[in-house]
Amino acid sequence: MQKKIILILLLPILLSACSIDRTNQDRLRLLSIEECAEERAGNSAFGGDKSSQLIRKECEQMLVLNENYQRMSNRSYSKSAKLTYPENQKYFNENTWRLVTDRIRERHYPQYLAPEEEVARAMALNEKQAQIGDKSVLRVYEPRLLPVSPYLMNWRELGKADDSISDLMYENRDNKQLYGSLAVLRTIVIEERIKKERSGH
């Protein structure tokens, strides 16, 4: 009985501590996203022609493979054998990858808008939602974006990427620089697909 009373008295303190801990975790996660976005925005190869909102969404994707970021919300997080983490990733040209994802979107996801338009659409829908008085029916809209890196794709997506790269390589066979960049991406995509196939997708 005494232990039960002590537990009842301690419960509000424990809940408060958990709430503070979650708040700190959320702040750290937001800070990580902002640091990533600032770095990418300052690099013309990554974010020279992108809005800050799109860059943040790309960073949210990329941080999925960041061990420290994941442990902010899951202290027992451990790396997956299915994934290739930044320290083991090969360099690829991001502008060339954008050509690949544009081709995938046009061929397989015609309902998706261009990335900047998707971000603007999601922001507009969320602003409209915020005007609703009943918060129980609120829905958070996310832009429909394809992975910002082949290392973030699943097995099925990698198959679509492989097909798109093959088409682009044929179409640009006389452009040595672009052809070379596409060849690098194709090697990455094939290696990632084999890796995911071996690990059960």
- The string of DSSP letters for 90-150 reads PP--HHHHHHHHHHHHHHH-TTSPPHHHHHHHHHHHHHHHHT-S-GGG----------SSG
Whole-structure pTM value: 0.82
Q: How confident is the model at residue 182 (pLDDT cuts 50, 70, 90)?
A: very high
Q: Are 127 and 99 in contact (CB under 8 A)?
A: no
Span 76-107, pLDDT tens digits: 889 998 999 999 999 999 999 999 999 999 99
Q: What is residue 134's predicted lDDT score, i.e. its pLDDT? A: 65
Lowest mean pLDDT among 45-59, 79-93, 155-169: 45-59
Distance CA 193, CA 188 (A): 9
Distance CA 189, CA 153 (A): 9
